[in-house]
């Protein structure tokens, strides 16, 4: 990758101007844990890199009555150390904690994981489950896109050149709501999800599930929100039959491929198992509130 220009904006506005004005291919650099390994050897086309880590708002996170505002380039290591965020969105933190190794988490970011748009990205189902939205800045102002609509294909997101993922916002959860993320890998760490499930569950005081969002990863070209799985849970006390129905709905919604990481049949089966288990974890967390 012959980088012909390396730019370091200090504000979102400056970044948008730089991105728009670029006459070569351009890549946004946050932690670089995907970008650098995707780099091609000498001889490929010239590239401009815009490093956004000097934009303060991209590197911080705040949580209050308005919900969570997350700087997309903040490192996962910083994020996972934030107990105030973990207490509200434990599933999101679980997902962030699964990206790469401890060393990689010192650089990797949620915005990078999202924008890289891998079908197997761990944080995307977790973000979808908690209803996260992407705030995208561009030459014509800002727009808001739900995370489930942000990723449009393998390695593709909805942003045009000149646009920048400025922040990720999550509305404050209802009472007795919690989330969980589980992924399946053949080993214990350092691996890519064979399947993943992010869920958010709201319970009432009677132990009835009143709301749910179920998202699955690594089983289709993009992470999928599965309303049918949520519908199978709402109104139930999360009995085995309801869990099985949610699992079956998730398996049915999946459109996996067979590759070196698992067969389509296996992924379809395991994603249901993960949904079932993640729902139980999230429900328990919700009821402990």
Partner 1 sequence: MKNNNEAIAADNYKYIGTRSIRPDGFEKVTGRANYGADLSLPGMIWGKMLRSPHAHAMIKNIDTSRAEALAGVMAIVTYDDFPGVSSEIVAAGEGTEDLLDLARNLMADGKVLYHGHAILGVAAISKQIAEQALELIDIDYDILPAVLDVRDAMAKDAPILHQTMFTKGLSETPTTPSNVASVVELKKGDILAGFAQADIVIEREFYTPTVHQGYIEPHACTVRYDEHGQSMVWCSTQGHFDVRSTTAKLLHMSLSKLKVIASEIGGGFGGKTTVYLEPVALLMSKKTGRPVKMLMDRDEVFKASGPGSATRNWIKVGARNDGTITAMQGKLHYEAGAFKGSPARLGGMTAFTPYDVENMFVECFDVVVNKPKVAAYRAPGAPQAEYAAEMIISELAARLEIDPIDFRLQNVAKEGTKTIYGPKLKKVGLVECLEAAKNSPHYQQPLKDNQGRGVSSGFWFNIGGSSSVTLNMNRDGTGTIVEGSPDIGGSRASMQLMAAETLGIAADNFKTVVADTENIAHNDGTGGSRTTFATGMAVVEAAKDVIRQMKSRAASVWSVEVDTIDWVDGVAINIDSTEKLSAAEICATADRTGGQISGQGNINARGAGPSFAVHICDVEVDKETGKVDVVRYTAIQDAGKAIHPSYVEGQYQGGAAQGIGWALNEEYVYNDKGILQNPGFLDYRIPLASDLPMIETVIVEVPNPAHPFGVRGVGETGIIPPLAATAYAVSDAINAPITDLPCSPPNVLAVIQANS
Residues in CB range of 84: below 8 A, 6 or more apart: 63
Q: How far is the CB of 194 from partner 1 (least distance, A)?
A: 8
Closest to partner 1 by CB, 80 or 167: 80
CB of 244 to partner 1, least distance (A): 12
**3-class SS of residue 173:** coil
Instruction: Select 176 or 261, whichever has its Cβ closest to partner 1.
Output: 261
Looking at the Cβ atoms of 133 and 261, the one nearer to partner 1 is: 261
Q: What is the DSSP string of 111-128?
A: HHHHHHT-TT-SHHHHHH
**What's the rounded Cα separation, in Å, for the pair 256 and 226?**
14
String of DSSP letters for 238-260: --HHHHHHHHHHHHHH-----BT
The residues binding partner 1 (CB under 8 A) are 41-43, 184, 186-192, 194, 259-263, 266, 269-270, 273
**Residues with Cβ within 8 Å of residue 141, at least 6 apart in sequence:** none
**Shortest distance, position 223 Cβ to partner 1, whole Å:** 20
Least Cβ distance, residue 230 to partner 1 (angstroms)? 21
Q: How far is the CB of 102 from partner 1 (least distance, A)?
A: 11
Query: Measured between alpha carbons, how far is 122 from 128 in angstroms, rounded to an integer?
Result: 11
User: Which residue, 196 or 262, is less far from partner 1 as judged by CB?
Assistant: 262
Query: Which CB sits closer to partner 1, 74 or 121?
Result: 121
């Amino acid at each position: 990758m012959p980088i012909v220009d390396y730019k370091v904006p200090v504000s979102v506005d400056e970044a948008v101007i730089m991105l728009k004005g670029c006459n070569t291919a351009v890549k946004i650099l946050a932690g670089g844990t995907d970008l650098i390994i995707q780099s091609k050897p000498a001889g490929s086309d010239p590239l401009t890199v815009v490093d956004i880590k000097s934009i303060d708002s991209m590197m911080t996170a705040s949580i209050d009555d308005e919900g969570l505002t997350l700087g997309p380039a903040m490192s996962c290591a910083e994020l996972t150390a934030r107990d105030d965020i973990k207490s509200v969105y434990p599933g999101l933190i679980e997902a962030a904690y699964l990206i790469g190794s401890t060393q990689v988490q010192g650089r990797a970011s949620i915005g990078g994981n999202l924008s890289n748009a891998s079908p197997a990205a761990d944080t995307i189902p977790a973000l979808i489950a908690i209803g996260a939205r992407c705030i995208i800045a561009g030459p014509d102002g800002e727009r808001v896109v739900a995370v489930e609509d942000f990723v449009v294909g393998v390695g593709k997101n909805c942003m045009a050149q000149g646009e920048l993922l400025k922040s990720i916002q999550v509305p404050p959860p209802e009472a007795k709501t919690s989330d969980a993320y589980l992924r399946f890998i053949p080993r214990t760490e350092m691996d890519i999800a064979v399947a993943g499930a992010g869920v958010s569950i709201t319970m009432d005081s009677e132990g009835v599930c009143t709301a749910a969002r179920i998202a699955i990863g690594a089983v289709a070209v993009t992470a999928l929100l599965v309303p049918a799985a949520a519908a199978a849970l709402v109104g139930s006390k999360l009995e085995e039959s309801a869990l099985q129905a949610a699992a079956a709905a998730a398996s049915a919604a999946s459109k996996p491929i067979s590759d070196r990481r698992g067969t389509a049949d296996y992924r379809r089966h395991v994603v249901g198992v993960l949904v079932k288990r993640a729902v139980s974890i999230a429900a328990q967390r919700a009821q402990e509130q």
